[in-house]
Amino acid sequence: MRMTENVKYPQDEEKNEYRYIDFAWLDEIAMGLTAGAKKHPGETWRQIPAREHVARAIRHLSMHQTGDASEPHLINASMRCMMAFATATGRAMMIEHPEKDVPQVVITAEEMAMLTGGTEAEDEQKANLIEKVCAVCGKTFMAPPGARKYCSAECQKVPKRANSRRKAAEWKKPQPEKEASRTKTEMSARAAEEARRKEAMAHLGELTREAHEAGMSYGQYMAKKRMEKGVPEHG
């Protein structure tokens, strides 16, 4: 009895063996494309240059490598690669506008290598990633060199929320400089009022002394002074 792996089938000699395709992955691609067609009627992706699809695919792969789970990045990258391949080879425009000439789409060797799974482009992409430690959760992740400090969008929100709370607290907290300035102004006003009071008391004491020396009461003395100045008596 022959083993199953030794059985030869007619399609074994074909160049496009579909049994090697993971159909669960293919189903995810189909669902993603269907959802995209509903969101963007008319399959507008066919009008987007291949290099833009490639850039978007690389972005999704990079985010997948960093551990981001906000989107199905592998499926999104796969769809973008399909779109880039269709656009780069001219099939996208042929399907959309079969009566028109197929335009020449410019695509770099690096982009084509990425589309076709070239190891050189893949190795270069991996070589540009370095290991980092998330400043919030402490998780290690791979990312290109640069200012990125957080492993995910969720961790990136943490310092922003903390900064907002800090600013709100600073706003509510009394400002030392303003408080000191207000205290200084109030003290100056009290000092001026005290000085005026002391000056008035000193003047009153002087008038009382003069009245006593003239042998008059304070009221008689003040009436005499008003008459001397030509100020009429009230009453």
Summarised one tens digit per residue, pLDDT across range 112-131 is 445 444 444 455 555 567 77
pTM: 0.37
CA distance 176 to 167: 16
Name the phi and psi angles at 142, rounded to 5: -100, 135
* Tens place of pLDDT per residue across the chain (235 aa): 444 556 666 556 677 777 788 889 988 999 988 888 888 777 788 888 888 889 999 999 999 999 998 889 999 999 999 988 888 877 554 444 444 443 434 444 444 445 444 444 455 555 567 778 888 888 887 777 776 788 888 888 888 888 888 777 777 666 666 666 677 788 888 888 888 888 888 888 888 888 888 888 878 888 888 888 775 555 4
> What does residue 4 show for φ and ψ, rounded to 5 degrees?
-60, -40
What is residue 142's DSSP assignment? E
pLDDT digits (tens, 9 = 90+) for 216-226: 887 888 888 88
∠ at Cα 38 (34, 43), nearest 5°?
A: 75
